[in-house]
Structure 1
Amino acid sequence: MIGFLGYNFYFYSNENSEPIHVHVSKGKPSKNSVKFWIRENGIEIAYNHVNIPQNELNRIYKYICANKTIIIPRWYKYFGIPK
């Protein structure tokens, strides 16, 4: 799990059939989270179930963009998928 601005970034073990993505929430992992798809051509919000304020979403988005080279290999490792 990665942390930033009091938010935690994590994966769910039953979602490896989906494209690369990360969940973000305050505190422990929760279904009430924000899901960010991480694609080759950019990052987008799949959903925001916790209504994180837009200014914080913008900062989290920038953080993910700046750290996707760290997040992507962790996603592959977490799911045991060779890259």
Structure 2
Amino acid sequence: MPTVLRWGPYRAFFYSNEGSEPAHVHVRSGDMEAKFWLHDLSMAVNAGFPLHEIGGIIRHLRSHRDELLGAWNDHFRN
């Protein structure tokens, strides 16, 4: 479960057993977690984040999308 980005209370990471899925990142803060597809930064799953917080998370992920895609490709050897 490599962490690829940290900011404020958030940690963006991959689950190592999910390489067969399209590129995505999980974001966790406390006991909340959400999954975002990297091709369009749409939210796939939300477990606990209030909706008003999701927009800020997506904006931050968008500003680091190239870095996140590079980390995905490096980790899963794509």
Instruction: Please give the alpha-carbon distance, in whole angstroms, between the structure 1 residues aligned to 2:65 and 2:12.
Output: 12
Q: What is the deviation of 1:23?
A: 0.3
1:4 aligns with 2:1: no
Show CA shifts across 1:37-73 (max 9, x none).
111xx21000101x21222211110011111011000
- The TM-score normalised by the length of structure 2 is 0.86
Structure 2 residues not aligned, in runs of 5+: none
Paired letter, 1:48 = N
Aligned to 1:38: 38
Q: Which runs of 4+ in 1 moved over 2 A?
A: none
RMSD value, Cα: 1.5
Identity %: 32
Q: What is the deviation of 1:4?
A: 1.8
Aligned residue pair count: 75
1:19 aligns with 2:11: no
